[in-house]
Chains A and B, each alone.
Chain A
Amino acid sequence: MKVSLRWLREYVDLPDDAESVARALVALGHEVEDVETVTADWSGVTIARVLEVAPHPDADKVRLCQVTVGGDPIPVVCGAWNFEAGAVVAWAEPGAVLPGDFRIGVRTIRGVESNGMICSERELGLGDDHDGIIVLDDDAPVGTPFADWVELPDTIIDVTITPNRPDAMSLVGLARDLAAHFDTGLRIPAPEPTTVAGTVGTRVVIDDAEGCPRFVLRQIDGVHIGRAPYRMRRRLAASGVRPISNLVDVTNYVMLELGQPLHVFDADRVNGDFTVRRADDAETMETLDGTTRRLDPTDIVIVDADGPTSLAGTMGGLRSEVVDTTSRVLIEAAAWHPPSIMRTSRRHNLRSEASARFERGVDPNLPPLAATRAAELMLATGGGSLVDEVVDVIARPIEPAVISLGVDYVARTLGPGFDSAHIAELLGSIGFGVTGTDPLEVTVPTVRPDVVRPIDLVEEVARLHGYERFPETVPAGPGGGWSPEQRRAMQLRTVLAGAGLHQAVNLSFLAAEDLDAFAYPADHDGRAVVRVVNPLRDEESAMRTAVLPGLLRSIRHNRSHGRPDVALFETGKVFFARPDATDPRIPAQPDRVAWAVTGGYGATELGAEARPADIHTATALLRLVAERLGLDVALEAATEPGFHPGRCARVSIGDRTVGYVGEIHPRTAAAYDIDTRVAAAELDLAALTAAVDHRLLAAPSPYPQVDFDLAFVVPDAVPAADVVGAMHQAGGALVEHLAPFDEYRGVGDGQRSLAVRVRLRSHDKTFTNEEAAAVRAAMIEAVAGLGGALRGVA
């Protein structure tokens, strides 16, 4: 909300400097977005009265005027025709400088001396109007600087009002807070318009007391539609509201001033009396913007004999709109049920300054004052006579709330230092009535619908006391820090980062291209998609069921930017359309860790190519993670959508499958424009980070080792893991190290050679050659049990 500081000062005494006011607003909870100083971009312009207008003796398009600023008549030639003698104008005297460094002097125009210039809005940079000169209100003080009259220089403070404070969406509302802050007086308008005896021609019945607690009508006869006074127009413009015509401008002016949105009907275009009620499903109404709207019972309407003629609190009807010829008007000021107005303005997509206020809550007892204030201003700007009757229908009286507030209750939240006198003083400063000492009985004016509970009063006390005045203390919690699982997750991320992978963060959505690329079968988890009801983009219409697709998109991004070697990992949630095991009200949403590595990976010599990533990269990373986290993971060949069918392993811990590791299927990779192998894994994070028992460490044995290699020819179908497992079992506790180190396929169809390096060591003695040979033999025999034979041995 744009606040003209000059206008605001009409309601409250404030410090001279705008910065102090802005700081006070912030301290009161009204966020200041911007403070802008507006200055008059001219000098030497004075308010003058035109005494006489005569034809120019030698020119048809201009006239010769005599103006006065209090002294002798001054001749000025003027080309505008929108005024006559008696008009009050803005006169630039000789020596004045107008915007654009336009210097004004004495000129001779067709033989006639012209002193200075009578100005248009455009010439002063006040607006676009150049059809005529500025004609000021009759009461504008002749002889005083024009800048003072238009309240320049001014400071415009742009304030954001929080949704709980509809009362502050007005100058008087802000003035009330500021008066409390600066401990100065508040001046609320007290209109006393002249009235004529009579009755309002339109009677009002409220059928919906919930929707409309109070409805006020006042009537003015014989009003003229025209321009609003210049100063009012300036104030509206400074507040960001476009001036339109005197009656509309007055309603906006009163809304900005008091916070009460108003509506004006042309009384002669209203047929009969008003009923305020819920609309029927079948009803329609043409609103001011020319749109015919289908109504329903969520809408509150004002109905006359011809049907709905105004959409309550939102927009008036076209049928009863004020037009140029209007002379009899009805001023409506009403209280509306905020949720009803919110629903109506949303459903019809009609957001206005009025609905913004009604949605949040306008003082339900403000209508009489607001209607009378508007009437006063309309009389002043459009003439006419105000009927003395006020139609004021109260369907649901809304009384001020009375809240009991214990001093202890305040202290519990705000700490010590708040006694009942201090609390009473603070609350009293914004017009709350306080009686009693402990508890205090606080009467909350209806202008503050947000204050209904004791805690609401505590907030007011804190706010008015000033947040900056509270001391600062730091309580300590009972401790605990990261949980073991969180620590292990951090360790996992650190291990992967240390292995040269960068952590990625992707949006948690799944695109249609991902489902296609991964080709999940119908019953696969990957298709158990949780869908977004209201996505903004197709790419955000479903929640991801795997982390890898996002990583493949990230690889595509990097490859397209000249980075063929990419190593990424990500941790995060995936979502499945089935109830969660621990909270079945929500979908299962386990955490995952995934990695995807493509292109060269590993340390390289200068100029050399790194080894291209493949399944062995993926399994090496898994082994690294497992070793560092103390996990005993097992791999077995498997197929899984998205993975290369010959290069994919199921990963298990104990008898539980925790994910898959391998290479991305070339067709899947191709869907992401990747034509290189992608080493990948997708694993359940909780399974990896579940706390493990303390790991026992073995003391190094002092006895010497025995090293030997064994090369076996084994059937292709026998995985290395089985060979290693059998040898391990045969060697038992004596095995210190045992791992395949070479695979060779040139040994005949369906077979391969697998070389295994073995190191034996005892913890309690030095081996004899015979003992070592026995273990070796046992290992060979164990592998023979799998169909393998020592290579080179028939």
Chain B
Amino acid sequence: MDDRLTHLRATAPDLILRAETLDALHEVEQSVVGRTSPIAEIRRTLGQLPPEERPGVGRAVKEVADELAELIDTRRAVLERAAADALLVGDRVDVTLPGLSIPTGGLHPIQRTIDEICEIFIGLGYRVAEGPEAELGWYNFDALNTPPDHPARAESDTLYLEWEHHDELLLRTQTSPMQVRWMEQHPAPSYVVVPGKVYRADTIDASHLPVFHQIEGLAVDEGITFSDLKGTLAHFAHEFFGARTKVRFRPHFFPFTEPSAELDVSCFACDGGQSDCRVCRGAGWLEMLGCGMVDPNVFTAAGYDPEVVTGFAFGMGVERPAMVRHGINNIRHFVDNDLRFLEQLA
């Protein structure tokens, strides 16, 4: 083999691999396979060789040239990729900057609480109904077995409305009137929850609003018993407050249920264990809702036969459990619509 080729084969790969830039590689390429390179020189003078040597030299030249060209291509790919990577590094930004500002909205915490509670009962086969807020005294009181002289009907408790078309129009003080409206319109069995606004003649302070929300529940069927009431509401408490929650049913009084009960849940903050608990004030229990077996008089008023069906009903505030869950100590936050409050749940 030509000494020049031998030399080239020995030295060129190193030159190629040492080229650190595409420009340097280009220079090396010119020097080893370019027009002035020994390879070009040998090829140019190939014709001057004796014919019997030509094929051998020609093969050797091609072999070396191909070998070097491949090395150069490989090296070029490496350098090109490195150059591209270097560009990406230069494209870097501060990833901790806020970036684009996309407006965030959200559902009101009261809406979320209502939806969540309704979903729990939907899971038990209930439907959801809403009803009028400007309601007749008949539905809000009389049909619910509440006598005309009951203290709740006083103007100090209930907001009444001017209305010439019917007696005693008021702002419903509870979602319970929908029990009666629902039963008037639907034959048993009735399994329904009723979320909505209710009204009281209350002065606004940290724990009172004249308008707040309740969810009513009604389950009427043949064979519904007090055990069904307990089981259903215990299930609800466990779904809503967590499986660890303990429940307590206390006898209570409501005009439209009998027997009646109040449901307490163990304080989620202290599990009932701390005398200085901020949430339950040491009581260990939080009052959650009122409930009871539907009074036969309510069935009669609503057109159901109390000899055929039994049922239970319950009513709970929405603001209070929402306050308890979110650690809010002022109910007014729910109606201020302050973005600094609402955005936290967006």
Spell out A's residues near B (CB within 8 Å).
Answer: 26-29, 31, 162-165, 339, 342-343, 346, 412-415, 453, 455-456, 458-459, 462-463, 467-468, 470-483, 486, 490, 493-494, 496-509, 530-537, 540, 543, 551, 554, 557-558, 561, 563, 566-569, 572-573, 575, 577, 579-580, 583-587, 589, 601-606, 610
Central interface residue in B135, B251, B261, by most chain A CB within 10 Å:
B251
Q: How far is the CB of B258 from chain A (nearest CB, A)?
A: 5
* A467 pairs with B125, CB closer than 8 A: no
Within 8 Å of chain A (Cβ to Cβ): is B136? yes
The 7 closest A-B pairs by CB, nearest first: A477-B191, A500-B103, A29-B251, A477-B125, A472-B231, A162-B253, A554-B337
Expressed in whole angstroms, the Cα–Cα distance for A237 and B209 within the complex equals: 36
- Apart from A459-B258, A589-B133: 8 A-B pairs, beta carbons within 8 A: A165-B253, A467-B261, A505-B108, A507-B210, A507-B211, A534-B201, A561-B340, A606-B101
Nearest CB of B to A126, in Å? 27
CB distance from A439 to the nearest CB of B (A): 15
Nearest A residue (CB) for B251: A29
Asked if B235 is at the interface of the complex by the 8 Å CB criterion, the answer is yes
Partner of B106, one of A343, A486, A503: A503
Bound-complex Cα distance A344 to B338 (A) = 46
Query: B235–A474 contact, CB under 8 A?
Result: yes
Q: Does B24 contact A (CB under 8 A)?
A: no
Q: Which of B106, B191, B340 has the most CB of A within 10 A?
A: B106
| CA gap between A479 and B190 in the complex, in Å | 10
Structural contact, A498 and B159, CB atoms closer than 8 A:
no
Of the candidates A459, A468, A493, A505, the one having the most CB atoms from chain B within 10 angstroms of its own CB is A505
Interface string of B211-243 (1 = CB under 8 A from A): 100000001010111111011101100000000
Select the stretch in B6-14, B77-85, B160-168 that faces chain A. B160-168
Can you offer 21 A-B residue contacts whose CB atoms are under 8 A?
A: A27-B251, A162-B253, A343-B149, A414-B227, A453-B296, A455-B258, A458-B259, A470-B230, A477-B126, A478-B189, A482-B122, A500-B105, A508-B199, A530-B161, A530-B163, A558-B339, A566-B339, A568-B337, A587-B169, A603-B102, A606-B97
Q: Name B190's closest neighbour in chain A (CB-CB).
A: A477
- Complex interface: chain A residues within 8 A of B342 (CB): 502-504
Residues in B whose Cβ lies below 8 Å from that of A543: 134, 161, 171
Interface range on chain B (Cβ under 8 Å from partner) = 35 or more
Note all chain A residues with C-beta closer than 8 A to B49.
none
Q: Is the CB of B335 within 8 A of A507?
A: yes
Q: Assess whether A413 is in contact with B310, with CB atoms less than 8 Å apart.
A: yes
Q: For B118, what are the chain A residues with a Cβ–Cβ distance below 8 Å?
A: 482
What residue in chain A is nearest B124 (Cβ atoms)?
A476
B209 to chain A, nearest CB (A): 7
Q: For the complex formed, measure the closest distance between the CB of B281 and the CB atoms of chain A, giving whole angstroms.
A: 10
> Which residues of B line the A interface, CB within 8 A?
97-108, 110-111, 115, 118, 122, 124-128, 132-136, 149, 151, 154-155, 159-163, 165-166, 169, 171, 189, 191-192, 197, 199, 201-203, 209-211, 219, 221, 223-228, 230-232, 234-235, 248-253, 258-262, 293, 295-296, 310, 334-340, 342-343, 346
Most chain B CB atoms below 10 A, which of A463, A473, A502, A506: A502
Determine if B259 and A463 form an interchain contact, defined as CB atoms under 8 angstroms apart. yes
Inter-chain CA distance A601–B104, complex, in Å, is 10
Smallest CB gap from A571: residue in B: B111
Between B97, B118, B259, the greatest number of chain A beta carbons within 10 A of the residue's beta carbon is seen for: B259
Please name all residues of chain A whose beta carbon is closer than 8 Å to the beta carbon of B203 when the two chains form the complex.
536-537
B103 and A508 contacting across the interface, CB-CB below 8 Å = no
Determine the chain A residues whose CB is within 8 A of the CB of B337 once the complex forms. 502, 504-506, 551, 554, 557-558, 568
Question: How far, in Å, is A566 (CB) from chain B's closest CB?
Answer: 7
Is A532's CB under 8 angstroms from B159's CB? yes
- The residue of chain A having its C-beta at the shortest distance from the C-beta of B181 within the complex is A583
Asked if residues B161 and A533 are in contact (CB atoms below 8 Å), the reply is yes
Residue from A163, A472, A482, A563 within 8 A of B230 (CB atoms) = A472
Are A346 and B108 neighbours in the complex by a CB distance under 8 Å? no
Q: Tell me whether B163 and A339 are in contact (CB under 8 A).
A: no
Write out the residue numbers on chain A whose beta carbons fall within 8 Å of the beta carbon of B101.
603-606, 610
Q: Which residue of B lies closest to A504 (CB)?
A: B337
Q: Which of B149, B293, B335 contacts A339 (CB 8 A)?
A: B149
Q: Is B232 a contact partner of A474 (Cβ separation < 8 A)?
A: yes
Across-interface contacts of B171 in A (CB, < 8 A):
532, 543
Smallest beta-carbon distance B338→chain A, Å:
6
> Contact: B338 with A557, CB < 8 Å?
yes
- Given known A504-B108, A561-B340, contact A475–B221 (CB-CB < 8 A): yes
Contact B250 A585 (CB under 8 A): no
- Which residues of the other chain, A, contact B295 by a CB distance below 8 angstroms? 455
Complex contact B136–A604 (CB within 8 A)? no
Contact A29 B134 (CB under 8 A): no
Instruction: Give min CB distance, A728 to chain B, whole Å.
Output: 32
Q: CB-CB < 8 A to B235: which residues of A? A: 474
Contact of B161 with A579 in the complex, beta carbons under 8 Å:
no
Knowing A500-B103, A507-B210, A530-B163 are in contact, say whether A413-B225 is a contact too (CB < 8 A).
yes
The answer on a CB contact under 8 Å between A414 and B251 is no
Q: Are A499 and B105 in contact (CB under 8 A)?
A: yes
What CA separation (Å) do A540 and B296 show in the bound complex? 36
Which residues of A lie under 8 Å from residue B127 when comparing CB positions? 477, 480-481, 483
Query: How far apart are the CA atoms of A509 and B125 in the complex, in Å?
Result: 35
* CA–CA, A342 and B108, complex, Å: 42
B106 and A502 contacting across the interface, CB-CB below 8 Å? yes
A666 to chain B, nearest CB (A): 22
The answer to whether B133 touches A508 (Cβ under 8 A) is yes
| Neighbouring A residues of B104 by C-beta, 8 Å | 500
Residues of B within 8 A of A493 (CB): 107, 111
Minimum CB–CB distance from B181 to chain A (whole Å) comes to: 9
Do B338 and A558 touch across chains, with their CB atoms under 8 A apart?
A: yes
Task: Please tell me if the beta carbons of A467 and B251 are within 8 angstroms of each other in the complex.
Answer: yes
With contacts A500-B105, A587-B169 taken as known, whether A603 is within 8 angstroms of B253 at the C-beta atoms is no
Which residues on B sit within 8 Å (CB–CB) of A477?
124-127, 189, 191-192, 219
Contact between A503 and B169, CB atoms less than 8 A apart: no
Question: Contact at A586–B125, with CB atoms within 8 Å?
Answer: no
CB closest chain-A residue, reference B221: A475
Residues of B within 8 A of A496 (CB): 105
CB distance from B132 to the nearest CB of A (A): 5
Q: Which residues in B have their C-beta under 8 angstroms from that of A499?
A: 103, 105
Query: A29-B250, A459-B258, A585-B136 known; A536 and B161 CB under 8 Å?
Result: no
Among B103, B336, B338, the residue within 8 A (CB) of A601 is B103
Kindly report which residue of chain A lies nearest to residue B234, judged by CB atoms: A472
